[in-house]
Amino acid sequence: MTPRPYFYGLGKRKTSIAQVRLFQSGSGKITVNQLPLDKYLHGTLIENSMAPLALTGKLKEVDIEAKIVGGGKSSQSDALRHGISRALLLLNPELRGELKQAGFLRRDSRIKERKKPGLHRARRAPQFAKR
């Protein structure tokens, strides 16, 4: 069996990394880490990750296989959305305007700040005792 050609998109958010394969002329089947999307994510996280497909009207036209590592479910959902957006751009460069205006092509660069010496967390200082 010959492998199906696909479009690849890498999505990132916090410490999550999503490697997305977008197969053209599909039926809308979406798998994440060998599980159906509704078994892996739940509620609004599914809608969030599928937003680029809904925006461009490709929800039932493509199949998606994704491998996601790191982070929590919320950041994995955002990483998946970023990866799908980048793969859609390779599929059809004319979608760039729509995806860019919705903010799906921008990598959300907010990550956890490092802990500083002498502090409890990044900025949380020990409680001051007057006496």
pLDDT at 2: 63
pLDDT at 96: 95
Q: Which residue has the higher pLDDT, 45 or 26?
A: 45
Between CA 4 and CA 1 the distance in angstroms is 9
pLDDT at 10: 97
Between CA 95 and CA 92 the distance in angstroms is 6
Cβ atoms within 10 A of the Cβ of 49, count?
Answer: 28
Interval 54-70 mean pLDDT: 94
Length of the chain: 131
pLDDT at 26: 87
Given pLDDT bands bounded at 50, 70 and 90, which one contains residue 15? very high
Domain map (residue ranges) of the chain? 7-102
- What would the pLDDT profile of 96-116 be if each residue is shown by its tens digit? 999 999 999 999 999 999 999
Q: If you write DSSP's letter for every residue of 21-86 in order, what string do you get?
A: EEESS--S-EEETTEEHHHHS-THHHHHHHHHHHHHT-TTT-EEEEEEESS-HHHHHHHHHHHHHH
pTM for the whole structure: 0.91
Between CA 84 and CA 7 the distance in angstroms is 9
CATH number, domain 7-102: 3.30.230.10
Given pLDDT bands bounded at 50, 70 and 90, which one contains residue 51? very high
